[in-house]
Structure 1
Amino acid sequence: MVSSAVARETVFALRREIARIEGSLPERLDAPGEEIILLRHNGHPPSPDGVVETGVAALDTALGNGIPKAALTEIHGRHMRDAGAVGGFVLALASLLLKKTPRRQVLWIGASGFFAEAGLPYAHGLSRLFGIAPEELLLAEAPKPGDALWIAEQAAALKELAAVVLELAGNPRQLDFTATRRLHRRAAEAGRPVFLIRQSADRQATAAPLRFAVEPAPAGTRRILGRPLAGSIGPPAFAVTLDKNRMAPPARFILEWNADERTFGHRSPEHHDAGPSGRPQDPVAVVSPPRHRPDMAPPAGPRLAYGRFRFPAAAGEQA
């Protein structure tokens, strides 16, 4: 027991020294018998004007008051089918940002091939669910990932924008550590956040101090006057994992987006509308089970190439 405490104290001392040397990198240290220590550049935590507060106390505390504005932030989607949830989470962050910085615009950059597969933000949905007017969101469609990265690097230096969003799929070779460091530096100089969305990508070393992993979460039950409405569907929910953060160990949150108030709510796994797995207790099946066929489609067979069919020449015609 004593050796374990000594080892932990040694680790905390090393982390303090690393934070002191790096200067700009924050560190949250929870040593045995001590209060939580926050190490910041010049010893001061960021002001409320320098962060995007999510409104969820537990998440904001883990982030050190909120998501820093003058920084690069990664948002990962494990599968391409989660692109809608990942995009919705970033749009919610943009909505929180535009509430404090009105009359500004968000630039959303992506490659044309990805937009063709995952789709573009819908103007009516932007206004209805996130309170973002269509003219507040600018879309830049680049032919290749390298072009999209170049646009993001140039736009990240513009102080007129509220935020820059770069959405890429996979692990393009142009997006290396040096490229992310340039994005992070330009975001710090402009004082505006850059959100790097990586859909269906393997994790790799980047200069972003924060990384979220986002996937869709089952919606809870809609509540009317504080009481659950049976058979209803609640607000959209996101399963957000904070897996890269020097302020706290990895943590997972179930966030619900309130479109009317434009704020997040925290739904704990012990919520009475959810079962032990965190899913709502709804006995109704989403899709009727198949009766005369297997659950999954059979695998595709081999593909054969056939020659072009030629009609036989009619009598009296030259073949």
Structure 2
Amino acid sequence: MAITAVARETVFALRRQIAKIEGTLPERLEAPAGASPDADRPNTDRTVVRRGIAVATPDAFLRTGADRLDDTLSGGLPKAALSEIHGAETRDAGAVAGFALSLASLILKQGPRLPLLWIGTTEIFHEAGFPYARGLHASFGIEPDQLLFSEAPRLVDALWVAEEAARMTALAAVILEVRGNPHRLDLTATRRLHARARMAGRPVFLLRQAAEAEPTAAPVRLILSSAPATPRDTIAGPLDGSIGRPAFTVTIGKSRTALPGQFTLEWNPDERVFEERSQEERAKNPVSVVPASRGGKDLAAASGAVLAFAAVGSPADGDQPSPGQRAAHRRPRRAG
């Protein structure tokens, strides 16, 4: 029994040393049910270390307000860490940006109102655009001059700015937005971002538009898409045909403490907190994300008869362009 206890203490000491090297903290677990405590150690608590799991104070995690999601993530998103937020398609860029701004709003609500830095390449800003300034305050409680932007011509420049900004404690959070799976954004680059976020005690959100999952140093990866909005609630009940709060479909793609799962969250701009939509609310909301045309269903026209065209190289007289059309044809095309 003594040899077993000594061996166990040796293993625990090695695990603690590994935890210090990896930057994780030990986790306390209760002894298994039915196990008899040692005579020399009446306390049945045992300190063990699980790889990749960091147990810290509750304020080390950013709680979204959706209890089931927060409990699944063992307290919420880590504040001092790199977190990935993925959009499967380019059209999900608005949902990804809205979710990131919601998280930034939660950070500002809980801590000092420091500025936010949003970093991206010229390509991603031209494709997805910028957040609407007037909507920042109304929906997220963020002042327009509180959100700073850094537009870099190349990804290598954006990564350099992100690494330098991630170590600054004068920023509430750093948002880095990229597109696809660039070669430079590899495991080494994400390790540097994650290490700087841990040292500064600030979150770094990596927004990836139209990207596939790949190995990174981020402890958590969330996959975002827009969810159908429910009608607005009034005193008389739901208002038909109206658009309620913004909603997100959140899928846990990677987590060191949770299994994959999917949640439908609504952002409450008044309370500035997420609320999970129940199964009943999801079932009774059949409205599509993109409504049909105003005149009704816009179905494709049925195929018509096959037409015979004139032979190539011998156009008919009626097919010749007019003098005005010839001049238009000679104009140079617009670059790009």
- Compute the displacement of 1:98 (Å): 0.6
- Contact 1:220–1:280 (CA under 8 A) maintained in structure 2: no
State which of 260, 276, 279 in structure 2 corresponds to 1:269. 279
- Compute the displacement of 1:58 (Å): 0.5
1:54-90 CA-to-partner distances (Å, cap 9, x unmatched) read 0111011111111111100000000001100000000
One-letter amino acid of the structure 1 residue matched with residue 88 of structure 2: R
State which of 118, 121, 128 in structure 2 corresponds to 1:111. 121
Residue pairs, 1:226-245, within 5 angstroms: 227-245=237-255
For these two proteins, the number of residue pairs brought into alignment is 273
Residues 213 and 19 (structure 1), Cα distance of their counterparts in 2 relative to 1, 3 Å cut: farther
Residues 65 and 285 (structure 1), Cα distance of their counterparts in 2 relative to 1, 3 Å cut: closer
Aligned twin of 1:132 = 142
Residues 294 and 61 (structure 1), Cα distance of their counterparts in 2 relative to 1, 3 Å cut: farther
- Contact 1:220–1:274 (CA under 8 A) maintained in structure 2: no
1:223-264 CA-to-partner distances (Å, cap 9, x unmatched) read 224943333221010000011112121110100001111111
Structure 2 unpaired stretches of 5+? 1-13, 35-46, 304-325, 329-336
Residues 103 and 40 (structure 1), Cα distance of their counterparts in 2 relative to 1, 3 Å cut: farther
1:250-282 CA-to-partner distances (Å, cap 9, x unmatched) read 1101000011111111002332x634xxx4358
Name the CA distance, whole Å, in 2 between partners of 1:285 and 1:174.
39
State which of 184, 198, 218 in structure 2 corresponds to 1:208. 218
Residues 161 and 65 (structure 1), Cα distance of their counterparts in 2 relative to 1, 3 Å cut: same
State which of 270, 280, 289 in structure 1 corresponds to 2:297. 289
One-letter amino acid of the structure 1 residue matched with residue 286 of structure 2: P
Secondary structure in structure 2 of the residue aligned to 1:76: strand
Residues 203 and 135 (structure 1), Cα distance of their counterparts in 2 relative to 1, 3 Å cut: same
1:193-221 CA-to-partner distances (Å, cap 9, x unmatched) read 00000100111100000000000000112
Secondary structure in structure 1 of the residue aligned to 2:172: strand
Aligned twin of 1:155 = 165
My pick for the range that moved more, 113-122 or 75-84, is 113-122
Name the CA distance, whole Å, in 2 between partners of 1:20 and 1:224.
58
Larger Rg: 2
**RMSD between aligned residues:** 3.3
TM-score, normalising length: structure 2: 0.73
TM-score, normalising length: structure 1: 0.76
Residues 33 and 215 (structure 1), Cα distance of their counterparts in 2 relative to 1, 3 Å cut: farther
Identity of aligned residues (%): 52
1:174 aligns with 2:184: yes
Aligned twin of 1:7 = none
1:142 aligns with 2:152: yes
Secondary structure in structure 1 of the residue aligned to 2:279: coil
